[in-house]
Chains A and B, each alone.
Chain A
Amino acid sequence: MAKEFLSGDEAFAYGVRLARPQVVSAYPITPQTIVVEKLSEFVEDGSLKSEFIHVESEHSALSCAMGASSVGARAFTATSSQGLLYMAECLPYAAGGRFPIVMMNANRSTALPWNIYGDQRDSLSQLDSGWIQAYAQTAQEALDLALMSFYIAEDKDVSTPFMANLDGFVLTHTYEVVDVPTAEQADAFLPKFETENKMSLDKPKNLAFSAGPDTNTFFKFKEHCGILNAKEVIPKAEKRFSEIFGRKYTGLTESYKTDEADYIIITLGSIAGLVREVVDKLRDRGEKVGLLRIRYMRPFPNEEISATVKKAKAAAVLEKDISFGNEGAVYTNVNSALKKADLTLPTSNYIAGLGGRNISAEEIEGIFAELKEGKTTVKFIGIGGEQSGDQR
């Protein structure tokens, strides 16, 4: 293990190198570029033995990764925002084909208006594409996730592509000290990729076929079961990871001071760091507040969320996303989890950080203050003036 000063993108690239993908196909887009630049350097200096394919678009990046996976090669790609949307056709294709490709997505706003900064509308718009979706908070977690993602995706019972999300700039471009495992440690953690879902010369197969109305539901149900199986495999991967690397992760969610908390903010990604600071500050004042960070949006942590907030008086979902015409997608998912658990606490939705807008500690404090008032709201933070941003 060596300590390095790395950005989130770099840390992820270091993690990918440790996973030894056989094919890397990627197209540059801000703020993902550092990942592919780093990986190219690793290929150039010989520290990564990988076929680096300079594809001419994101659609081709994922299509190429699927081709590689279809012959049993470990494949990696990375993208962001418009690029993710451009390859959107290939997302459910990879999931339906059960190709365990790993992709890093640098969360970034989607046009229009054009904007290169971070929000999560890109990946959250693709929740239904059949991919596992994880959201990292720190560069260390990004590196560790890179390594674990292959383990989880390639598990025989899962066999589902994995999208690891890093908040654009605030995580992708922010430096921190990161523990970089050795190649020996990584090899001890991550088994070789083996699958029957491939074309091989001694056992020819026909892949990615059509399935009519009679069998289509069967295939789709199996796909659904595959991604749900990740709920079992993620803790398994994290246990194995902590045994080898000493760092512990907490599954689909991470709770911070939620025991006995009356008011909880549920969020995801790097903003959780600031919420944590605010929780500490308010706790010092004797306020019973907590943070629940969603680490995985798919499979969705229904049980973890309801178990964490069941004794709370109110909960807010803070997200960098809006499903236009309704509310934040995370909020919808959280409310569904609560309903299924027969929980009736008031919930509110705070839409923040769109196009990279800063979210302040004061604004987070304001969310806790509003929670105490007991009203439910769907609100855009920071609209200001006469427009409160309150939708209802």
Chain B
Amino acid sequence: MKPYLRDHAPTSFDEIPDSTSYEAGYLVTKNAGWRSVRPVIDPDKCVGCLNCYLYCPDGVIFRQGDKVSVDYDFCKGCGICQKICRLGAITMEEEK
């Protein structure tokens, strides 16, 4: 199962588990705020080689149809995808 964002952080005394054991893949915060630049994919240049999907350390590039898309909630803007793309289909754009 892919970890996903929940709408509630169980941190009160009554909500925390009795032991250090909790549902796997429970996310309560995003990583978007880390980013100063964001990868933007040019669908016309992308051929769906999936190298960016494979090499993204955060796993935020996912397959969509025969191309790829980015989960900007969790992308940290490291730029590995832009470097790995041999076709220049990814550009890093400043976050505003």
Contacts and interface: CB of A to CB of B under 8 A. Distances in A.
B16 A205 contact: no
Q: Contact size class for A?
A: 20 to 34
Interface stretch (B23-31, B60-68, B71-79, B87-95): B23-31
A215 B20 contact: no
A61 to B, nearest CB: 21
Given A214-B11, A215-B11, A205 B18 contact: no
A75 to B, nearest CB: 15
A168 interface: no
Interface in B15-54: 16, 18-26
B16 A204 contact: no
Interface string A179-199: 000000000000000001110
A219 B22 CA distance: 13
A339 interface: no
A226 B18 contact: yes
B24 A219 contact: no
Contact of A98 (B1, B11, B19, B24): B19
Interface residues of B, number: 13
A204 B13 CA distance: 23
A226 B1 CA distance: 32
Given A214-B11, A215-B11, A207 B16 contact: no
B21 to A, nearest CB: 5
A206 interface: yes
A159 B19 contact: yes
A346 B24 CA distance: 55
B21 A207 contact: yes
Contact of A205 (B11, B13, B21): B21
Contact of B20 (A97, A214, A221): A97
B21 A196 contact: yes
26 contacts: A97-B19, A97-B21, A98-B19, A98-B20, A159-B18, A159-B19, A197-B18, A197-B19, A197-B21, A198-B21, A204-B1, A204-B23, A204-B24, A205-B21, A205-B22, A205-B23, A206-B24, A206-B26, A208-B20, A208-B21, A209-B20, A211-B20, A218-B16, A219-B16, A222-B19, A226-B18
